């Protein structure tokens, strides 16, 4: 294992080499890099890429801080408030507006204008990188996360289900059939942080509409058809079609629930393949597009994450060189193969890795005109709090029966309406 890692590191070093800065400019420079979507495999890959960067830039040391995703929002906000900012941070899409609109993030446009690698970025990368105001890149996406449905072929066979569900009605029927098996349930519900994706996927499919706001900035969450979708999801949990303790599950728990056979279906991005493929045989599971509602449409959430530079970095040129290394062809492909994200580079799409059957469900989703990848309103400064604090708290209360779906929807709509109307007033 040690020899293999050394060889891998050597190959990466050759491929990822960056232009050296001359003279004393490199003398004992320390860059701080914070990783917020973490796992042992991701951190190891990041460390390998960083080592090649350090080797190509003598005198530069990169200190990596890895924050557990479940606690990352609060922990990172606390360190930033204390003035302990990194030079480069792994930036989730839902955090960008919060930091960019406070002037904390560096405008990357001048760096992109001079970088030859920018030509390899696909249109989505630049579009989402500039999402905050439509013209300024405050982050550079490394890849995209698009939801699709994992299903357990073994459990489906035991439950007498002939094929994966194509509609919400079939999804519920399959869930009910699997839940009759001892100790099994239909769906790996995500009731903790990150659960907003599931709520919106089912809500929008049932409503047949993926808009979040009306022209005047009023949120659609409290509209009758949207409430119908939210109420359906609450009822689904109350019927026992998802594990009881899934009310507090995050990413790791839902993925573990799937590969352990506790629940038969899972809405997840390609990054879930990492853990699932290590623990299940290819013939034991499949990945298909998310089920459609009565309107014949599905609205999987498309998310992304990338690299941002803090505006108060004292080593901006070197911090950008680190981003170049992370986002360049070799670094980006190595990173996305480990994280499971769909690549942000045009050249990476031709890699044999992405041609495997494992990615078929996501590429089928992208090809189907009735499956509409939908972004969350992460451009709102208040969205990070909404997604990672308000939604988990109030949705758990709804699942427990402490509040109704209508009350939850109103709470969400009131919060988002205020945020959207503030955004509209500022943008004018």
pLDDT at 13 over 50: no
Instruction: List domains and CATH numbers for the chain.
Output: 2-145+303-357 (3.40.190.10), 146-302+374-427 (3.40.190.10)
Is 70 exceeded by the pLDDT of residue 367?
Answer: yes
Pairwise CA distance, residues 245 & 247, whole Å: 5
What confidence tens digit (pLDDT) does each residue in 225-236 have?
999 999 999 999
Give the model confidence (pLDDT) of 379-427 as tens digits: 899 999 999 999 999 999 999 999 999 999 999 999 999 999 999 998 7
- Please tell me the distance from the alpha carbon of residue 251 to that of residue 271, in angstroms, as a whole number: 10
Cβ contacts of 376 within 8 Å, gap of 6 or more: 93, 94, 196, 197, 200, 212, 301, 303, 383, 387
Mean pLDDT value across the chain: 91
What residue spans of 286-404 are helical by DSSP H?
316-327, 329-339, 360-367, 383-385, 391-399
Instruction: Decide if pLDDT at 330 tops 90.
Output: no
Rounded (5°) CA angle 170-173-175:
110
Q: Tell me: the pLDDT tens digits for 27-47? A: 589 999 999 998 888 899 999
- Give the pLDDT score at 347: 85
What's the CA gap between 128 and 134, in Å, rounded? 8
Confidence of residue 428 (pLDDT cuts 50, 70, 90): low
Q: Mean pLDDT across the stretch 160-175? A: 98
pLDDT in tens, 194-239: 999 999 999 999 999 999 999 999 999 999 999 999 999 999 999 9
3-class state of residue 96 by DSSP:
helix
Q: How far apart are CA 405 and CA 232, in angstroms?
A: 9
User: CA 94, CA 385: separation in Å to the nearest integer?
Assistant: 9
């Amino acid at each position: 294992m040690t020899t293999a890692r050394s060889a891998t590191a050597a190959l990466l070093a050759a491929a990822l080499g960056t232009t050296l800065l001359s003279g004393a400019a490199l003398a004992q420079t320390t860059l701080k890099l914070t990783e917020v979507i973490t796992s042992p495999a991701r951190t190891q890959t990041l460390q390998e890429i960083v080592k090649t960067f350090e080797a190509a830039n003598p005198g530069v040391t990169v200190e990596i801080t890895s924050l557990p995703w479940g606690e990352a929002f609060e922990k990172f906000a606390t360190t930033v408030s204390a003035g302990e900012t990194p030079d480069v941070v792994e930036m989730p899409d839902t955090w960008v507006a919060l930091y960019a609109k406070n002037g904390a993030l560096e405008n990357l446009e001048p760096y992109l204008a001079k970088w030859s690698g920018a030509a390899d970025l696909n249109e989505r990368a630049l579009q989402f990188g500039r999402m905050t105001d439509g013209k300024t890149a405050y982050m550079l996406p490394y890849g995209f996360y698009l939801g699709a449905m994992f299903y357990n072929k073994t459990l489906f066979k035991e439950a007498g289900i002939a094929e994966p569900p194509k509609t919400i009605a079939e999804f519920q029927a399959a869930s009910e059939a699997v839940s009759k098996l001892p100790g099994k349930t239909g769906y790996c519900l995500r009731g903790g942080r990150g659960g907003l994706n599931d709520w919106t996927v089912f809500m929008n499919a049932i409503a047949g509409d993926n808009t979040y706001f009306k022209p005047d900035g009023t949120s659609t969450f409290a509209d009758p058809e949207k409430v119908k979708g939210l109420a359906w999801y609450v009822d689904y949990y109350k019927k026992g079609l998802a594990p009881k303790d899934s009310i507090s599950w995050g990413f790791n728990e839902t993925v573990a629930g799937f590969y352990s056979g506790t629940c038969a279906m899972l809405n997840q991005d390609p990054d879930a393949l990492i853990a699932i493929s290590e623990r299940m045989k290819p013939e034991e599971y499949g990945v298909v597009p998310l089920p459609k509602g009565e309107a014949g449409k599905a609205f999987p959430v498309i998310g992304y994450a990338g690299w941002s530079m803090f505006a108060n970095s004292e080593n901006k040129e070197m911090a950008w060189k680190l981003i170049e290394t992370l986002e360049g062809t070799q670094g980006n492909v190595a990173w996305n193969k480990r994280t499971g994200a769909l690549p942000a580079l045009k050249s990476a799409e031709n890699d044999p890795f992405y041609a495997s059957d494992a990615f078929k469900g996501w590429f089928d989703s992208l090809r189907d005109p009735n499956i509409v990848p939908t972004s969350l309103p992460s451009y709102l400064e208040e969205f990070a709090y909404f997604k990672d604090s308000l939604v988990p708290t109030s949705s758990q209360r709804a699942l427990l029966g402490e509040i109704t779906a209508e009350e939850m929807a109103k709470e969400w709509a009131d919060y988002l309406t205020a945020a959207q109307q503030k955004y509209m007033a500022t943008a004018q």
